[in-house]
Amino acid sequence: MQELGGTKQAIFEAAVNLFARDNYHHVSVRQIAKTVGIMASSIYNHYASKEAILLDIYDYFDTNMARLMPDLGTLMQMAETAHPHDVLRATTVVYPQAIVPTMAKAMLVTASMTSSDPRAEDLIHRNLIEMPYLYDIPLLNKMMDLDRIEPLDAESFALMHSCYCHSAAVRFYGSHGIDTDTWIRGMELLFGRVVVKQPAHA
Amino acid sequence: MQELGGTKQAIFEAAVNLFARDNYHHVSVRQIAKTVGIMASSIYNHYASKEAILLDIYDYFDTNMARLMPDLGTLMQMAETAHPHDVLRATTVVYPQAIVPTMAKAMLVTASMTSSDPRAEDLIHRNLIEMPYLYDIPLLNKMMDLDRIEPLDAESFALMHSCYCHSAAVRFYGSHGIDTDTWIRGMELLFGRVVVKQPAHA
DNA sequence: GTCTATATTCAGATAGAC
DNA sequence: GTCTATCTGAATATAGAC
């Protein structure tokens, strides 16, 4: 990962910005260097290759996701008492404000590589697709077991939830952005499928 | 578009297969030629450039989508009498069996270019994202006006619907396929948000 | 650590014989 | 229309002076 300040971080940030805007394949090492204000060859004092910069971006995305992902154990406890919709809301990863811009771009870069790099595909799959899936199913099952919600096809619900997060994440910062309010209302509409039996806790 | 048989179609099919599997940027004209069984230079007797092949694939996808897209007028009529869930089901484009394999690959190729080619992004946006949106909203509004369904946030529903179709389409033929049955059940689960007032027509 | 200069590789595309 | 041979250009990466 990148340290604080210095040329290496400048390279990282130039790269993440350029890759997010113009795609990895269309950005040359020379362009990155020009943005930083150095010669292309100097890049190689900090990164072994262009690909190494990309891997660093993947790593930034993956590390922060792992760090910020809610703990399933905590959520499972929440499932016993909290409002079922709140439990589902809590499965969403929330980035600290400070890293939002870089995370958004790192995610976009990783997502843009899914069709040409299996490593990126695995990262996106694991973090954006499989994750909501793996969280929702045990949570919903537990709440059904506790008779806190009406019976529901947890698997289909989880698929819908993960597709929604995935599509939105990929589109959020593309040319055709998604309106955040509409997105949240959509999510609430989906949560409406989870019908609470015992209304919100005390 | 491609005619029937002949070298040009062989090039088209080799390209669509290779691009779908390995990504446009990683497939060389030489590879396509080798697959067809000719020399790279012979490609240029049929296509002006590598990009021209790609544009032909875009066109194949777009033309067939336009051709198979249900007619909104017909759906609006359906909305007066048919079961509301059937109306929503009818918004989905169904490919004729004969073109399923090629369409699937053409769609995948187009989708894989969205992050590096604005033309592809527009095609995917128009056909996979905006389309369900543009269909659902007037249909739902009409059915609400006719008091056939309970009031509903049509915009959020449409966004959810379009995200689901988009994410699924892109993932269906990727490394991590989606189970078709689960997908359909997810769609039905979403349709369950549309609560029918007057039960299915006579 | 940065620079200049250059090596290397490879892909898209063209010329012209057959 | 297909071939062989070649051009052209671009991009990654390296060598070595400072």
Distance A49 CA to D7 C1' (A): 29
**Residues on chain B touching A112 (C-beta within 8 angstroms):** 115-116
Least Cα separation, residue A193 to chain B (angstroms): 7
CA distance A160 to chain B (A): 6
Question: Which residues have CB under 7 A from strand C?
Answer: A 7, 33, 37-42, 45-46; B 27-30, 40-41, 44, 48-51
C-alpha pair distances (Å), A41 with each of A30, A34, A44, A46, A113: 8, 11, 6, 10, 25
Question: What's the pLDDT at B173?
Answer: 64
For A166, other C-beta atoms within 10 Å of its C-beta total 26
| pLDDT for position A59 | 98
Residues B2-35: tens digit of each pLDDT: 556 799 999 999 999 999 999 999 999 999 999 9
What is the rounded distance in angstroms from the CA atom of residue A57 to the CA atom of residue A51?
A: 10
Distance A30 CA to D18 C1' (A): 22
- Tell me which chain A residue has its CA closest to the CA of residue B188: A156
Q: Does B164 touch chain A (CB under 8 A)?
A: yes
- Cα angle B188, B194, B195; round to 5: 115
Which among A159, A164, A192 has CB closest to B193?
A192
Q: Which residues of chain A neighbour B126 with C-beta distances below 8 Å?
A: none
**pTM, to two decimals:** 0.93
**How far, in Å, are A142, A177, B23, B157 from residue A174 at the CA level?**
37, 6, 20, 21
Q: Mind telling me how many Å the CA of A194 is from chain B's nearest CA?
A: 10
Task: List, for residues B78-116, the tens digit of each pLDDT value.
Answer: 999 999 999 999 999 999 999 999 999 999 999 999 999
Contact B85, B92 (CB under 8 A): no
Provide long-range contacts, Cβ within 8 A and 24+ apart, for B39-43.
B42/B7, B43/B11
Cβ of B176 within 8 Å of Cβ of A121? The answer is yes
Q: Where are the domains of chain B?
A: 58-191
Question: Among partner residues A160, A167, A182, which is closest to B190 by beta-carbon distance?
Answer: A160
Q: Contact at 8 Å (CB) between A189 and A164? A: no
* Residue B3: per-residue pLDDT: 55
Q: What is the pLDDT of residue B174?
A: 66
The pLDDT score that the predictor gives to residue B198 is 65
Sign of CA dihedral B94, B95, B100, B106: negative
First to last CA, chain A: 45
Closest by Cα among A125, A139, A55, A51 to A91: A139
- State the average pLDDT over residues B58-86: 97
Res. A202 pLDDT band, cuts 50 70 90: very low
Facing A189 at nearest CB: one of B156, B174, B182: B156
Nearest CA-CA partner of B14 in B124, B102, B98 = B102
Q: Say how far B113 CA is from C15 C1', in Å.
A: 33
- DSSP class of residue A71 equals P
Q: Residue A102 is encoded by which pair of tokens?
A: 């870089």
Nearest nt to A44, CA vs C1'? Answer: D13
Per-residue exposure over A98-107, b if at least 16 CB sit within 10 Å of its own CB, e if not: eeeebbbbbb
